[in-house]
Amino acid sequence: LLSETPVLFKQELQNEEAKEGKQVRLTCELSKPGTPVKWMKGDTVLCASEKYEFKQHGTVAELIIRDVKSTDA
């Protein structure tokens, strides 16, 4: 039996800057399309809401944070 190839980051998450009250988009690229992604801040798993939006297109996963505050750093 062949073991499944592990999913790797082809492009790691980069730091982004945004002004308070604006939105910021964080992206990373995976080695395998359609892989489920869990976004976390520290130990907390983020859930889709008015503040957080998740998108995934093939190998690219995006997190959009709306109404950015200093606590989102």
What whole-number distance in Å separates Cα of residue 5 and Cα of residue 2?
9
What's the pLDDT score for residue 4? 77
Is 6 among the domain residues? no
Residue 24 has pLDDT above 90, yes or no: yes
What is the value of pTM for the model shown?
Answer: 0.85
State pLDDT tens for residues 32-55.
Answer: 998 899 999 999 999 999 999 999
Give whole-number Cα distances, 39 to 2, 3, 12, 53, in Å.
29, 26, 13, 10
What's the pLDDT score for residue 55? 96
Is 1 among the domain residues? no
Q: Per-residue pLDDT averaged across 4-31, rounded? A: 92
User: Structural domain of residue 50, as residue ranges?
Assistant: 25-72
CATH code assigned at 65: 2.60.40.10
What's the pLDDT score for residue 63? 97
User: Per the structure, how many domains does the chain have?
Assistant: 1
What's the pLDDT score for residue 41? 93
